[in-house]
Structure formats: structure tokens, C-alpha cells
Chains A and B, each alone.
Chain A
């Protein structure tokens, strides 16, 4: 540790530095930290810009993809619809409540997929060795991989989620107040982070297997399909899995019970943010993968 410190500042920090000086450097550190983050964000926006321009080169393909994405989700919606034509509630949840759950979960997934698509298609980057190109650039690897792909076509899926929101929000019998809107917002944030984390783990596996691992799709696409119902519908074991192993329930079932008034505990409002912690082990695993990366071919 001390060695690093010396490297960064160019000299050994002395212990008898006055309080003023240390405060000063702290402020400097902080401002350079902020500056770094803003510049990273700026660069990310640039990446998005170039990706969008690339996508627009093939506009027919773009519109077809958007339409396709929409209909894939729409067919899942039809499944729910027909289910509720026969049964009026599923384990005590009404049609509108399930739609609300579905809409939130689908939105979380679509945003994550749009933003973190670079991780999803990372296996080709490792296999063809274009990850080398990432490593010779003076920027964080995660930022560059995120920037390598931005899947605008996921707008199709979001549109579906949005339509369900518009339908379900006024009809699900929820007395909307600030706390509930906040909960919904936190669900979106937490869920997007959770799925991004899963995509990151998926990508990290590629360092060891070179190929993408299809079984990981169970946790992404599979979860998206099953997450249309609150997770307790699938029984205790699934709820345990969704709480402690891969915390889907934190961004779906628990806060949802608060939103629809089944549980009044105000802690549930902030519970979805706990899912952000999932990014830590994901990132650690990713770092581990990067360190054991051995490039391919010439």
C-alpha cells in the first residue's frame, strides 16, 4: 500500500504534515475523482453516440429488430393475458398487479441489456482477440466494454414495458404516493444493476471458457420470462434463491408487496438498492478474469 501511495504522488507523504495540507490534498483528490467520473461519463456518451451512428447505418435492420423485440415481449404478455382469462388471480395477485410486476422487471432487464450489451456479446471479443485493443487503451476495461456495444434496438422491449405501465399503473388499485413512486424508481435502479452484474459475470466466464455459456441465459432471459410473476408464486425454495443467491426478489417481490399494499414496512422502499451490492462480487470476478486473460492468435 505505502508503495502505491508513493508512486502516485511522486514522493513519500510525511506524517507531520499539517491538518490544512492534508485537507487540501483531500479536496484535490475528491475533485480529481469527480473530474475522472465526469470524463468517464462523457466518454461513455461518446461511445453511445458512435454506436447509435453505426446502428443507423442499417436502418431497415434497426426497425425490424425493434419490432421483433417488441413482439417477443408481446407474446409473453399474451401468455399472461390468457392465463388471467381463465383464472382471476394467481396466488392472490390480480391481473393488473402481475402486469405491474412484469412491466417493472421487463424494464429493468431491457435497460440493463441495452446498456450492458457489451458484456452479453463479450465472448466474441475474447475469442477474436479484440479485447487486446481494449487493453492498449488508457481507460477502465469495464467502461470500454460497455462502450463497445449499445443496443438501441432494446427500445422495442422497453416500449412493451412502457405500455404495460401505462395500462397497469392507474388500474392496479394502488394509491400512488411519493414513497411508492420512489420504490418503483429504486426497483428500476436496483434491477438494472442486478442484471448488469449478471451480464458481467457471464462475460467474465468467457475469459476461462472462450465461448459464451448458454446456461447463464437461465439467469438472464430465463429470469426475464419467469419474473413476470412475483417470485413467491414459484414457492419457498425459489424465493430463498431469489433472496440470497441471485437477489431477484430484492428488486421484484419484496418492494412490490410494499407498492401494492400487502406489506407496510417502509424499509422495503430501500430494499431494491441493496441489489447494487451484487455488482461488487460481479466486478471482483470480472477483475479475476481480466488478470487471467491470455490473448489469442497473432
Chain B
């Protein structure tokens, strides 16, 4: 179970106007602006739930994921994931979670994907039997087959994303955080990724928290939606709550953003 209670996080960001003169000035005197990435964020996610976490760019989605996966320490509030405080108990915590950042790769660029997997096996100290079993299952579900033998740099984005998903699940985590897993993918790959996430949730009861801008992801995957804007939780409900009129979902969401003025 994941609980966040009154979690706040702010960053100091250096600001300057455009131009060389300004850049020179900022070398000596820098103005900082405090950005409140998260303000009193609270929510609870139960085991086996699949939750879509949406909001415009810069709303605080990634910050939330980073706090939940132990990368960032919140300024304020309590975070508990299966009884662990992620940023305090980092090593024990990350054994039980899988994380995919859609914009970054966790695979070694120049070696065949299978080499990366083998290394992950050692990093997570996965036993040979469960490694073999997990790999077989993931290979079949994600149709990896031949991909495993090519270096990551030669894969297409869609192929790579399938490998990333497999890489984050080799140690059979109970919780999966996905930060924009379908970003930049073509239709076929998107469908494959969605299909896989759904199956994973059904078969292993994996708790999934995914951020996305693609409303079809949400439609296909999650019953529950948490909407965040300007660092605050604006809505926590179901897809039906949003789709009151039943019109196009993108428009509905845009309308929702506008109504909350984010």
C-alpha cells in the first residue's frame, strides 16, 4: 500500500533573462525563485490498483514518482510504501519496486540487451531459477525474442521500451512506477505496452502508478485517476467522473485543466 500524506517539495531555480549580458550578470549575482513542485499532496493507493496520474507539464508528476521511488526527499509530510519510508530505507525499498522513466534508458547502450539483463540479475541478486522463469515470461509477453541479442542502441524506441519494461520487472517487484511509458511510441508499440501493463497487473497483482499525457493510456488502463496541477491534487476519481458528457477524452481533460486554471 502506498500512502502520501501532506507531502510538500520545493526547488530553488536560478532565473535570468535571455542574452549574453544577462548570463554574465548571473555569474555573480543570481536570482532564485522557489518552485513549489508539490503542495500538501495526499493520496492512498491500495495493493493491486492501477492508477493513472495525470496533469499538465510541470505539475509535479515526476517529483511524486521520484519521492515514491526514494530518489528525492520531501521537505515535509510522510510517505510510506508497504511500511517503508522510501528515502530513508532506500536499498530495502528499491528491491521491491520497478521504475521506468520513459525519457531515460536503463540499458547499457553498446551491449546486447541480454547482457544488461544479466547485470541486473546480479544487481538485484535474483536467484537463477526465478531469473530464468521471469525472463521466459517477460520474453513471451513482450515478444522480445531476437531483440535480446541486439545492442540497445540499435533498437527502435518501441522495441527499446519493451526491453525497458522487462528490465524493470526482472526482480518481480510488487509495485511498478511508470513515468510516461508510451511517450513517442507508434500506435502498434503503444498497444503492445498497454496490453502488457494490463496483463502484468492482472496476473501478478502488481500495483501500477503511471503518469502519461496520452489519455488513451488512461482509458485503456486505469479505473482510477489522480489529477495534479501546480503541485496540488485537484481530483481523485474514476474515468467516469471525468467523462461526464462522453465526448472526446482529450477535450474533456483540457476542459478540466482549464476549469482548475492549471
Which residues of A are at the interface with B, using a C-beta cutoff of 8 A? 39, 42-43, 46-47, 50, 53-54, 57-58, 128-130, 132-133, 135-140, 291, 293-295, 297-298
Contacts and interface: CB of A to CB of B under 8 A. Distances in A.
Given A50-B115, A129-B104, A136 B69 contact: yes
19 contacts: A46-B119, A46-B122, A50-B111, A53-B110, A54-B108, A54-B109, A132-B71, A132-B101, A133-B101, A133-B106, A135-B71, A135-B90, A135-B94, A136-B70, A136-B71, A137-B124, A138-B92, A291-B73, A298-B180
B94 A138 contact: yes
B18 interface: no
Contacts of B119: 46-47, 50
Given A42-B122, A50-B108, A293-B71, 18 more contacts: A46-B122, A50-B115, A54-B111, A130-B104, A132-B66, A132-B101, A133-B101, A133-B104, A136-B71, A137-B123, A137-B124, A138-B94, A138-B95, A138-B124, A291-B73, A294-B11, A295-B66, A295-B72
A136 B94 contact: yes
A138 B72 contact: no
Contacts of A132: 66, 71, 101, 104
Nearest to B180: A298
B101 to A, nearest CB: 7
Contacts, number: 71
A132 B65 CA distance: 11
B4 interface: no
Of the candidates A42, A132, A298, the one having the most CB atoms from chain B within 10 angstroms of its own CB is: A298
A138 B115 contact: no
Interface string B97-138: 101010110101111000110110011110000000000000
B62 A298 contact: yes
Of the candidates A130, A137, A293, the one having the most CB atoms from chain B within 10 angstroms of its own CB is: A137
A57 B153 CA distance: 12
Nearest to A292: B73
B208 to A, nearest CB: 16
Contacts of A297: 62, 103
A139 B91 contact: yes
A66 B240 CA distance: 63
A142 B127 CA distance: 24
Of the candidates B71, B99, B106, the one having the most CB atoms from chain A within 10 angstroms of its own CB is: B71
Of the candidates A46, A132, A140, A294, the one having the most CB atoms from chain B within 10 angstroms of its own CB is: A132
Interface residues of B, number: 34
B115 A53 contact: yes
B56 interface: no
Contacts of A47: 119
Interface string B41-75: 00000000000000000000010001001111100
A263 B180 CA distance: 66
B217 interface: no
Interface string B179-219: 11000000000000000000000000000000000000000
B179 to A, nearest CB: 7
A99 B97 CA distance: 54
Interface string B19-47: 00000000000000000000000000000
Contact of B99 (A43, A57, A129, A136): A136
A39 B127 CA distance: 13
Nearest to B62: A298
Nearest to A7: B89
Nearest to A140: B91
A77 B137 CA distance: 58
